[in-house]
Structure 1
Amino acid sequence: MRSIRLRTVALTAVAAVAFGSLAACGETSDDGDGVTITVEGWRPGDKQATIDAVKAQAAAFHKDHPDITVKPVEWQWNAQTFPAQLAGGTLPISFRVPFTDTKGLVERGQVADVDAEIRELPYFDKLNPNVLAAAQGTDGKVYGLPSDVYANALHYNRDLFTKAGLDPDKPPTTWEELRAAAKQIHDRTGATGYAEMTTSNTGGWILTTLTYALGGRMETQDGDTFTATVDNPQAEQALQLLHDMRWTDESFSGNTAYDWAGINQAFAAGKVGMFISGSDVYNALVTTSAIDPKTYGLTAVPLGDSADAGVLGGGSVNVVSAKASDAEAEAAVAWADFFRVRKYTDESAAVADAKTQTAADQPVGTPTFPIFDEASYTTYQGWVKDYVNVPLEQMSGYTSRMFDLSLIAEPPAQTQAVYGALDPVVQKVLSDEDADIAALLKDADASVQQILDKG
């Protein structure tokens, strides 16, 4: 392998070792014969049809870019395994990270500067500034291409609603209705009425979602100073709700170890009536968990009465290994553009992508949050309407409100570490009927402040 020119990046001793391995992962050949890069392809557990669809996209990309060969690999970001993969050099050249992780990776020199490549994209000036900010460093440069923007939503099983005597076309719109529906589902069907993720930082993620929905926040910012506000009335209210559903109503799952993949599997298997996750999780429920589309429902997360109530939103940034050569970085951005974003701005790309996805029985039309604006989103939906194969009529509780929702960004400082510090709080409330919620939040607040102070 020979690189044309390596980018200059300030590396720590540990990162320098890691990036030496990352370069090897690229399997590049920038020697006049083009460039070959490994890219994030499919999730562990995805069906063969999904794998084939990604490979078909890679072939289509190569046809348009004959000097670039893309090798998709199985990979999915996970808070617990990502640091080791980064240090061990097992990441692909092109991969996605959450909005919350990008700035930290930039500060540590762990992703490439692709500012020039991103700014050359024909739609750069149309990107939502709030979305683009997630990919920018403190220097104002752009270090990746945002995609997969979501707002958390309530997913529900229409079949369990019907069996419980509930109207599947009228999902809960308040927390009181959600609690009542969860109990009715459990009492009449024996299934778990509502379930909550609790591990791998997901417990903190969803607790933050509930807190936002009630009007609270987990951090405040004053310039470069961040203050923990985990110990707030809304977080206490959210935990009390979970406690009461678990121990008073007995409608809450006794499983205190759900992660993202685990709760998806339980929901797709008809064991869970409702849970909260990203609005786009239907794709994973189809490609990995084999859900029956007829049973699926999507609606907005209930909001409290506070003027500050809103929906937690986030997304992914397509980043590039810091050790990438110029050719590799340009190829990685071109792939992210082709595979993730261009279809939202170009009709021919939208139709070509939709045709490829439907031919492989992949979901087309799942609601996401616009990378650009409402008009662009509506236009895209029009381009692919003949290929949409998801039950949009069963998602109207969300789609009819998505542009009216107040989208609140995730806690800006040390996000994943903050979520990790909150996981045990949620687990304790769900596993100990006598858990002292006020004391748990007080202790968690102190722990989070220590995390924020360390930076």
Structure 2
Amino acid sequence: MKGLVRKNVLIVMIAILSISLLSGCAGTRSKESSASKEGKVTVDFWTFWGSETRKPVIEKIINDFNKSQDKIYVKHTYLPYGDIWTKELAAVAAGNPPDVVINDINTVQHRAAKNQNTDLSKYIKDSSFKDRFYPQLWQTVLYKNHPYGVPFNTDERVLYYNKDLFKKAGLDPNKPPQTWDELWSYAKKLDVKENGKYKTIGFYPLWGVGADVWMLNADGTSFFDYEKNKPVVNDQDNIDALNWALKFQNHYGKNTIQQYKAQFGQQQANPFIAGKVAMYTEAATFYTQLRDYGKDINWGITKLPAKTKGSGHTSWGGGFAAEIPKGAKHPKEAWEFIKYLTGKKSQAYWAAKNFDLVANKAGAKAAATSDLLNAKGKKTYKFISEYFNETEITPTPLSAPDYTSIINPEIDKAMAGKKSPEQAMNDAQKAVEKLISNHQ
């Protein structure tokens, strides 16, 4: 019992110390942001970019901004990806937020509705400011037609394919598949089996992306019709996409798929980089893995094949936006930094160094000709920046927060054979409708 008491006392002491440290950090941050560095106003900028690759890039952009004028000093605060937004919302609630934060672009509207970020329309004097960005990204940061963030970067899904394996299979390496039927046909021609086991797999649609990407690709609409403001989870195209994915799963077998899946994301061991998979759907940034670990792979890149000829090559993207949290001490100075951060020069540098698809159209165009990229990098970046015109963003509907957590388990049940695709999507539709009803 005494040991238990001592243990409980220790836990309480640790908790008190943790709270004290957090309070101290918040107080220090407030003091620093209110003070000036060499007569400048300090703007506290929170990001989750702390890797060896991204941290030097963002800090160079910050340093360039700091040197470009004599009124504002931007201080970079790094917080881990899993913590930054929880801590930012806690700081907003406590009245001591950062001045600028990088946040999820798909939920900007939710924070605006909860009064957690700042309406930027009063700072935007140029009516053409929005035209600097891809329109589908700008639309995502609007709440009641007012911008509550500025798009920073995004991504899209593409199809990578192995040209040498195409040649071995008798396929033209300059003519990748354009439809789902062609994907299926090509995959079977690219399959190589030895002693009853697959030496090479042609293609599996749920490696690198989820079924939702193919549902979006099918007709340009995934789970939610934004124009009609209603869920369309059980749309026939979504059911067709699940049946199509199941056809591949049945073809290769669940055990084979699981064995291969375990190797994805392991750089050199990645089955596409190792030449064990002929076609692979991934984010466009997969280019950097091919550049660094797949020097011997003769690869090509193309749009996601259309469900049927003429139905469109729609891809899916996400991304991040720069926001001024509600209650920021220096919103005017924060806005000046955001303009620089999302301007052509900064965006082109970020894009070329990280091979990120940036939100600023002029910045993306400049990156495609940057000397920081080699010839293949320039060609690839030009392709992905132009393909973004066919890429859709799927912001979380205000009426259905976290709705994908309801749908994804139903998709899993369909892929596991526990439900038919029709039943799974019908059940998911009903659940989302109930979620919306509960939020009205």
TM-score by length of 1: 0.69
Q: Tell me, yes or no, if the aligned pair for 2:180 and 2:308 is still in contact at 8 Å.
A: no
Q: Tell me, yes or no, if the aligned pair for 1:29 and 1:35 is still in contact at 8 Å.
A: yes
Partner of 1:242: 245
Partner of 1:292: 294
Partner of 1:338: 340
Letter in 1 for 2:57: A
Letter in 2 for 1:421: I
Q: Tell me, yes or no, if the aligned pair for 2:314 and 2:390 is still in contact at 8 Å.
A: yes
Q: Tell me, yes or no, if the aligned pair for 2:157 and 2:281 is still in contact at 8 Å.
A: yes
Does residue 154 (structure 1) correspond to residue 159 (structure 2)? The answer is: yes
Question: Mind listing any 5+ residue stretches in structure 1 that lack a counterpart?
Answer: 1-17, 344-348
Shift of the 332–207 alpha-carbon distance from structure 1 to 2, 3 Å rule, reads farther
Shift of the 107–341 alpha-carbon distance from structure 1 to 2, 3 Å rule, reads same
Q: Tell me, yes or no, if the aligned pair for 1:149 and 1:370 is still in contact at 8 Å.
A: yes
Shift of the 35–195 alpha-carbon distance from structure 1 to 2, 3 Å rule, reads farther
Q: Which has the higher contact order (CA 8 A, sep 6+)?
A: 1
Aligned counterparts, 1:267-282, within 5 A: 270=274, 273-280=278-285, 282=287
Does residue 190 (structure 1) correspond to residue 199 (structure 2)? The answer is: yes
Shift of the 117–286 alpha-carbon distance from structure 1 to 2, 3 Å rule, reads farther
Partner of 2:326: 322
Partner of 1:443: 427
Measure the CA separation in 2 of the matches of 1:105 and 1:19: 24
Partner of 2:146: 141
Question: Mind listing any 5+ residue stretches in structure 2 that lack a counterpart?
Answer: 1-21
Count of paired positions = 400
Does residue 380 (structure 1) correspond to residue 389 (structure 2)? The answer is: no
Query: By how many angstroms is 1:413 displaced?
Result: 1.6
Does residue 35 (structure 1) correspond to residue 37 (structure 2)? The answer is: no
Q: Residues 233-271 of structure 1: CA distance to partner in whole angstroms, max 9, x if unpaired?
A: 11111111111111223497327998x978998467546
Measure the CA separation in 1 of the matches of 2:267 and 2:206: 7
2:143 counterpart SS class: coil
Partner of 2:62: 58
Partner of 1:172: 177
Shift of the 247–442 alpha-carbon distance from structure 1 to 2, 3 Å rule, reads same
Letter in 1 for 2:184: R
Q: Tell me, yes or no, if the aligned pair for 2:272 and 2:280 is still in contact at 8 Å.
A: no
Measure the CA separation in 1 of the matches of 2:354 and 2:407: 33
Partner of 1:107: 113
Shift of the 54–447 alpha-carbon distance from structure 1 to 2, 3 Å rule, reads same
Shift of the 357–186 alpha-carbon distance from structure 1 to 2, 3 Å rule, reads same
Aligned counterparts, 1:363-374, within 5 A: 363=354, 368=357, 371-372=360-361
Q: Residues 185-235 of structure 1: CA distance to partner in whole angstroms, max 9, x if unpaired?
A: 55356355445669xxx97xx433212322254223577xx3322112111
Measure the CA separation in 2 of the matches of 1:70 and 1:319: 16
Query: By how many angstroms is 1:110 displaced?
Result: 1.8
Q: Tell me, yes or no, if the aligned pair for 1:266 and 1:272 is still in contact at 8 Å.
A: no
Deviates most, 153-162 or 54-63: 153-162
Shift of the 385–125 alpha-carbon distance from structure 1 to 2, 3 Å rule, reads closer
Measure the CA separation in 2 of the matches of 1:166 and 1:181: 8
Q: Tell me, yes or no, if the aligned pair for 2:267 and 2:293 is still in contact at 8 Å.
A: no
Q: Tell me, yes or no, if the aligned pair for 2:233 and 2:429 is still in contact at 8 Å.
A: yes
Query: By how many angstroms is 1:38 displaced?
Result: 3.3
Measure the CA separation in 1 of the matches of 2:336 and 2:290: 27
Shift of the 236–125 alpha-carbon distance from structure 1 to 2, 3 Å rule, reads closer
1:38 counterpart SS class: strand
What RMSD over aligned residues (CA atoms) do the two structures have, in Å?
4.5
Measure the CA separation in 2 of the matches of 1:21 and 1:88: 13
Q: Tell me, yes or no, if the aligned pair for 2:119 and 2:146 is still in contact at 8 Å.
A: yes
